[in-house]
Homo-oligomer: A and B are copies of this chain.
Amino acid sequence: MNAAEVRLSCRRGELAGPTAGLARGHAQANLVVLPRESAYDFLLFCLRNPRPCPVLEVTDAGSPEPRELAPGADLRTDLPRYRVFRRGDLVDEPASIEGYWRDDLVSFLLGCSFTFEAALLAAGIPVRHLELGSNVPMYTTREACRPAGPFVAPLVVSMRPLRPAQAIAAVEITSRFPRSHGAPVHLGDPEALGIADLARPDFGDAVPIADGEIPVFWACGVTTQLAVAAARPEIAITHAPGCMFVADAVD
């Protein structure tokens, strides 16, 4: 399936699961939908924390069309599944958000690690959680993001174990993808980030670290979700975990 076919499949209700590996070569994006009155502070939060929150596109209020990433697409129907939050509480996980749509809703599309992971794989650098078929391990750090209005969050990082030479190549490669979290934020000692135990991630699944490997940490988009949860906006809609927006734009 190409990107448009993935979106059509979501729109028809045929695809309701994760998008990893679909429409290879096309960028996938996190979705955050907020009322216009919360949009400025959220945009400022993203701008002040570009590593965890790389903004790919912001739609006009009321428009569900991401004109830059996929002209003609409809963000209300073209993802496999959504999560709807009222004042921070999860209230629904629908396959379409047409029933929730309002003229004051603004959609943010944010870069996702799939892009840089594809580049790592293409360079022959193994990605442990992909080898294991599990979710990437993610950790809440003690580093605070720069706040913006009610949007506050600690930096959340994802971790991939690599040998030192692989880690160096991974820095070179991922630094070329600033819209996909960019270069790592740390490598080596997890304690420096306030992570007590790599075997107990805050999100996702633990992965083994082999002898001679070091943990390498990238800023993670889950940071955004914690910021939205902290702000408790009247309504917020996101993609369901792993159920991303598949763009026409290429990686």
A43 within 8 A of B: yes
Which single residue of chain B is at the shortest CB-CB distance from A48?
B58
A55 to chain B, nearest CB (A): 6
**Bound-complex Cα distance A93 to B43 (A):** 31
Q: Is the CB of A44 within 8 A of B43?
A: yes
Which of B36, B55, B60 lies in contact with A47, CB distance below 8 A? B55
Q: A60 contacts which chain B residues (CB < 8 A)? A: 148
Within 8 A of B (CB), among A3-37: 36
Which single residue of chain B is at the shortest CB-CB distance from A149?
B60
A100 within 8 A of B: no
Query: Would you give 13 A-B contacts (Cβ < 8 Å), ordered by A?
Result: A36-B40, A39-B40, A40-B40, A40-B43, A43-B43, A43-B44, A43-B47, A44-B58, A47-B47, A47-B55, A47-B58, A48-B58, A60-B148
Count residues of chain A with CB under 8 A from any CB of chain B: 11
Task: Say how many copies of this protein the assembly contains.
Answer: 2
Q: A58 contacts which chain B residues (CB < 8 A)? A: 44, 47-48
Which single residue of chain B is at the shortest CB-CB distance from A147?
B60
Q: 1/0 per position for A74-98, CB-CB distance to B under 8 A?
A: 0000000000000000000000000
**Bound-complex Cα distance A43 to B106 (A):** 14
Within 8 A of B (CB), among A32-65: 36, 39-40, 43-44, 47-48, 55, 58, 60
A108 to chain B, nearest CB (A): 10
Apart from A40-B40, A60-B148: 11 A-B pairs, beta carbons within 8 A: A36-B40, A39-B40, A40-B43, A43-B43, A43-B44, A43-B47, A44-B58, A47-B47, A47-B55, A47-B58, A48-B58
A61 to chain B, nearest CB (A): 9
Q: A55 contacts which chain B residues (CB < 8 A)? A: 47
**Bound-complex Cα distance A48 to B57 (A):** 8
A151 to chain B, nearest CB (A): 12
Q: A40 contacts which chain B residues (CB < 8 A)? A: 36, 39-40, 43
Q: A36 contacts which chain B residues (CB < 8 A)? A: 40
A247 to chain B, nearest CB (A): 16
Q: A43 contacts which chain B residues (CB < 8 A)? A: 40, 43-44, 47
